């Protein structure tokens, strides 16, 4: 029943790992629709509240699915498979997406495909593109910071990752210290536009090999604010733009420094980025400069496919469908799911 050959493959992708309910429909390696329902409820808390996130997913999932089908102009019976995020992520959030995917799979008699969220971020680069393998991808999200080598679509090896906090979390926490709302990355980017990136200097983390550490940088930022606010109560207000520009610049430099080491060590000139932080314009501009340095073309997903989205789940599902990598109803979500080389 599931073996349809020589035809367009249509996949429904469901992403619910954190605080975005997102559903997309793909046709081969193209995206027909990609709907993201953001959860504004977390803004005032300065971070995602897991309990609230799962409740919001419950509320959003049906309208998001319906809109995805409407925008793709496709009926439910036309899909070939349902792909969903199996992990990593928040348990309650993952359960909503996976339960919905299972129910739909049963109701429509369509195969189910589990997708690793980090693998999907990397494969977002394959939407509308056929990359040259191997390529090095720097994935920078709220939960992870990883450098991986992609030997083939399903052969992704972690070369290095953060030993503590992620770069996205650093954006979020620094924004919180400045009284800005969650998610902090876009807020820092907005204020950084008119700031001086050399106004404040932060110590670069010293971490071995291709690993990262951002907790020291966060503490560094907090101390700078605490010391200055004692002397001047308006310190944040008067320096917000410069603080944002300086911390953004430092985070980007730390990321690019490691990416350069990876490119040289593995002698791989095909480069890509992914994850929510890849939506940052300054980061994209800095990464673009590597094209000249290494005489290459850098891949970066469109901004809407950088932050969490259903399209990357659908695209990963499409490649798994081709290999008939289906899963069964007993599959469990895993908040700590790891990338596997298969």
Residues at the interface with ligand KG4 (CB under 6 A): 18, 141-143, 168-169, 171-172, 183-186, 189, 275-277, 279-280, 307-308
Alpha-carbon distance values, 184 to 41, 190, 191, 244, 307 (Å): 14, 10, 11, 10, 13
Instruction: Tell me if residue 162 falls in helix, strand or coil.
Output: strand
Residue 60 interface partner, choices ligand KG4, Zn ion, none, CB cut-off 5-8 Å depending on type: none
> Under rule CB under 5 A, which residues in 275-314 are in contact with Zn ion?
308
Is residue 239 a contact partner of residue 199, using CB atoms and an 8 Å limit?
yes
Shortest approach of ligand KG4 to residue 315 CB, angstroms? 15
197 closest CA partner among 238, 145, 252, 260: 252
Selection from ligand KG4, Zn ion, none that 171 binds (CB < 5 to 8 A by kind) is ligand KG4
> How far apart, in whole angstroms, are the C-alpha atoms of residue 161 and residue 96?
28
**Residue 301 or 317 with smaller CB distance to ligand KG4:** 301
CB-nearer residue toward ligand KG4: 11 or 277 = 277
Selected range binding Zn ion among 19-27, 99-107, 136-144, 215-223, rule: CB under 5 A: 136-144
Least distance from C-beta 47 to ligand KG4, angstroms? 9
15 binds, among ligand KG4, Zn ion, none (CB under 5 to 8 A by kind): none
- What radius of gyration do the chain's Cα atoms show? 20
Cα angle 70-74-79, degrees, rounded to a multiple of 5:
125
Minimum distance, C-beta of residue 231 to Zn ion, in the bound complex (Å): 39
- Tell me the per-residue interface mask from 49 to 78 with Zn ion, x by CB under 5 A, - otherwise: ------------------------------
Residue of 16, 141, 327, 337 interacting with Zn ion (CB under 5 A): 141
CA–CA distances in Å: residue 176 to residues 78, 128, 254, 268: 45, 36, 21, 37
Sign of CA dihedral 139, 145, 146, 147: positive
Q: Which is nearer to ligand KG4, 242 or 308 (CB)?
A: 308
Angle among Cα 78, 30, 312 to the nearest 5 degrees reads 95
135 vs 305, beta carbon nearer ligand KG4: 305
Least distance CB 142 / ligand KG4 (angstroms): 3
Chain residues binding Zn ion by CB under 5 A are: 141, 308
């Amino acid at each position: 029943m599931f073996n349809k050959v020589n035809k367009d493959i249509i996949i429904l992708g469901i992403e619910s790992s954190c605080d975005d309910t997102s559903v997309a429909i793909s046709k081969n390696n193209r995206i027909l629709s990609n709907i993201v329902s953001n959860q504004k409820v977390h803004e005032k808390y300065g971070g995602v509240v897991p309990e609230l996130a799962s409740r919001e997913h419950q509320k959003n999932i049906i309208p998001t699915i319906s809109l995805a089908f409407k925008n793709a102009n496709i009926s439910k019976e036309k899909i070939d498979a349902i792909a969903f995020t199996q992990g990593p992520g928040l348990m309650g959030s993952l359960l909503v997406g996976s339960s919905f995917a299972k129910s739909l799979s049963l109701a429509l008699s369509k195969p189910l495909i589990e997708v690793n969220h980090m693998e999907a971020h990397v494969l977002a680069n394959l939407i509308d593109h056929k990359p040259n393998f191997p390529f090095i991808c720097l994935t920078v999200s709220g939960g992870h910071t990883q450098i991986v080598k992609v030997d083939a679509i399903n052969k992704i090896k972690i070369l290095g990752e953060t030993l503590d906090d992620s770069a996205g979390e650093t954006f979020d926490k620094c924004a919180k210290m400045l009284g800005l709302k969650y998610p902090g990355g876009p807020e820092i980017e907005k204020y950084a536009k008119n700031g001086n990136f050399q106004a404040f200097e932060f110590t670069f983390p010293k971490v071995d090999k291709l690993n990262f550490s951002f907790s020291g940088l966060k503490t560094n930022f907090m101390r700078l604010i605490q010391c200055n606010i004692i002397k001047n109560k308006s310190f944040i207000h008067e320096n917000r733009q410069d603080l944002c520009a300086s911390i953004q610049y430092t985070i980007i430099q730390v990321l690019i420094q490691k990416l350069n080491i990876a490119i040289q060590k593995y002698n791989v000139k095909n480069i890509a980025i992914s994850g929510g932080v890849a939506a940052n314009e300054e980061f994209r501009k800095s990464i673009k400069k590597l094209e000249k340095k290494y005489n290459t073309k850098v891949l970066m997903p469109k901004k809407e496919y950088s932050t969490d989205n259903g399209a990357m789940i659908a695209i990963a599902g499409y490649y798994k469908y081709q290999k008939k990598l289906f899963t069964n109803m007993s599959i469990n979500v895993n908040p700590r799911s790891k990338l596997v080389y298969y």
